[in-house]
Amino acid sequence: MMTLHERDHSYSERVVVLAPTARDAEVTGRLLSAAGIEGVVGHGWGHAESLIADGAGALMVTDLTLTDPGFGQLLRALEAQPAWSNLPVLALCRQGLDTPALREARLRNLTVLDRPASTRSMLSAVMTALRGRRWQYQIRDQIDSLLRADRALRLADQRKDEFLATLAHELRNPLAPIRTGLQLLARQPDNPARMKSVTDMMERQMNQLLHLIDDLLEVSRISTGKLKLQRERLDMRSVVDTALESCQPLIARGGHQLSVSLPDHEVLVDGDLTRLAQSVSNLVNNAAKYTPDGGRIEVTLQSVDQEAVLTVRDSGIGLPADMIARVFDMFAQVNRSLERSQGGLGIGLALVRSLVQMHGGEVLASSPGPAQGSTFTIRLPLLQESLPPQQPAAMPAPAAAKALRVLVVDDNEDAATVLGLLLSLAGHEVRVEHSGQAALNVAPAFKPQAIFCDVGMPGMGGYEFAARLRQDPNFAKTLLVALTGWGSEEDKKRSRAAGFDEHLTKPASEEVLTALLARL
């Protein structure tokens, strides 16, 4: 017999027949069958109730069955129907609508036929009842659909609230020591050893902030189809080496025992080094976050059945059974208590899955249970071609920077002032302006050789400034760099179209700024 949930979602147009005699039931069933309608005979009230519960399109009774004392049992079952259901009842009565038992029956969806009824009128009534029953099923399905949508919206709203709370927590974590570090620097400006320790700490925390922002942007680019892979012939061993370099600080901080097992031969795939290394580092960082200090982390790489198989195994907090199926979902976290300061936003594993799938592979999770560690496995198709590896082109050593005239344009006065100070310390002559129009006014006299310009300024924005500046032949060869918080491919294309030579996302490192100015 069906469960209650299955009954609620059943679909049946069979007609349950309750006839006073076996002969009546047989004749009625034969007539229904000849018309292509499924009829099933109920042998007693309890059996009829069970048939209706398992799914029915209509119920057919006679005046004799209505007077049976057991009819009350079936009537209670009909009154207990869900809100969407109103099972059609067809009653064949010798006295028609004047049958006394009909008044006592209190049936809500009743069609009365004179008994004996002609075959044509009976079948017509049955088909009409079944059409009405189909509408009820459609209403039920619409209600179910609305309820599912409502549950999904409520879940999404709950996840949004949890995500915002987690985001606030994760942003405050690095911001708190940065703020404290600034206060320490202000109080002890003449203590070089202390300043070095504090600035190193602030640099680490700033990198953590940038990592959070980059993960959010990556997820957005993938979900909108804007992320493009830069594929090449890759040895997965180099992917592991690159990934582990970025994981070392977190592993060292937790005192974890890291073991790495790589094969002696190449494990070649067609992939994007940056994205695959990002995926592996996310798995290793995840293992480090959720493994108690001093725990074990194992990274192994193998070639198995035409696949590159990379496994990250840890001795950490493990995964409950209900989390294994959804651990790669957006914003999913095993431990939302926020007891661990590096809990993360719950997007790292979702990012791994998306990036690995873009490479034609899959990532799987397994765990014996809570407190028993976890294993994450990336499987990628091996590269079948036997092409010789390409040697990376040697990067020319940057030339020593010379003093230049540099114009900084940004409506954020603090950001503009700090960038101006940094460039001044490098020996450049710097002019700072806070609007596009002001920068255009000073440019002819200042004759900047390089300009760093924000894009999103009020009034004259960066794009308009660039377009108008390039109209002057005197600035046709000036290095024009967009320095902005917008970093999508569309933003970069728009910058180039406006006349910018380069597009940097804030905050740009000193090394990148120096390398750009070294071109001149």
Orientation of helix 510-517 relative to helix 413-425, angle to 10°: 60
Distance CA(232)–CA(387), nearest Å, equals 11
Average pLDDT on 468-475 reads 94
Average pLDDT on 478-486 reads 90
Q: Residue 246's pLDDT band (boundaries 50, 70, 90)?
A: confident
**Predicted local confidence at residue 138, as pLDDT:** 92
- Strands (DSSP E) found in 367-420: 375-381, 405-409
Q: Residue 336's pLDDT band (boundaries 50, 70, 90)?
A: very low
Whole-model pTM: value is: 0.49
Distance CA(4)–CA(54), nearest Å, equals 9
Reduce the DSSP state of residue 202 to 3 states and report it. Answer: helix
Considering only 139-148, 270-279, 334-343, 460-469, which range has the smallest mean pLDDT? 334-343
What distances in angstroms separate CA 343 from CA 332, 337, 374, one per listed residue?
A: 11, 9, 16
Q: Percentage of residues in the chain with pLDDT exceeding 70?
A: 87
**Predicted local confidence at residue 9, as pLDDT:** 57
**Predicted local confidence at residue 172, as pLDDT:** 67
Angle at 366 between CA 339 and CA 168, to 5 degrees: 30
Distance CA(172)–CA(168), nearest Å, equals 6
- 329 has pLDDT over 60: yes
pLDDT in tens, 404-429: 999 999 998 888 888 988 899 889 99
* Torsion angle of the four alpha carbons 227, 279, 212, 325, in this order, in degrees rounded to the nearest 10: 100
Average pLDDT on 347-358 reads 88
Q: Residue 148's pLDDT band (boundaries 50, 70, 90)?
A: very high
What distances in angstroms separate CA 76 from CA 49, 71, 256, 305, 441, one per listed residue?
A: 10, 9, 66, 63, 88
How long is the chain?
Answer: 520
Phi, psi dihedrals of residue 22, rounded to the nearest 5°: -60, -35
Q: Higher pLDDT residue, 309 or 402?
A: 309
DSSP 89-130: EEEEETTGGG-HHHHHH--SSEEEEESSPPHHHHHHHHHHHH
Average pLDDT on 139-157 reads 90
Mean pLDDT across the chain, nearest whole number? 84
Distance CA(318)–CA(300), nearest Å, equals 19
**Predicted local confidence at residue 204, as pLDDT:** 72
- 2 has pLDDT over 60: no
Distance CA(504)–CA(511), nearest Å, equals 12
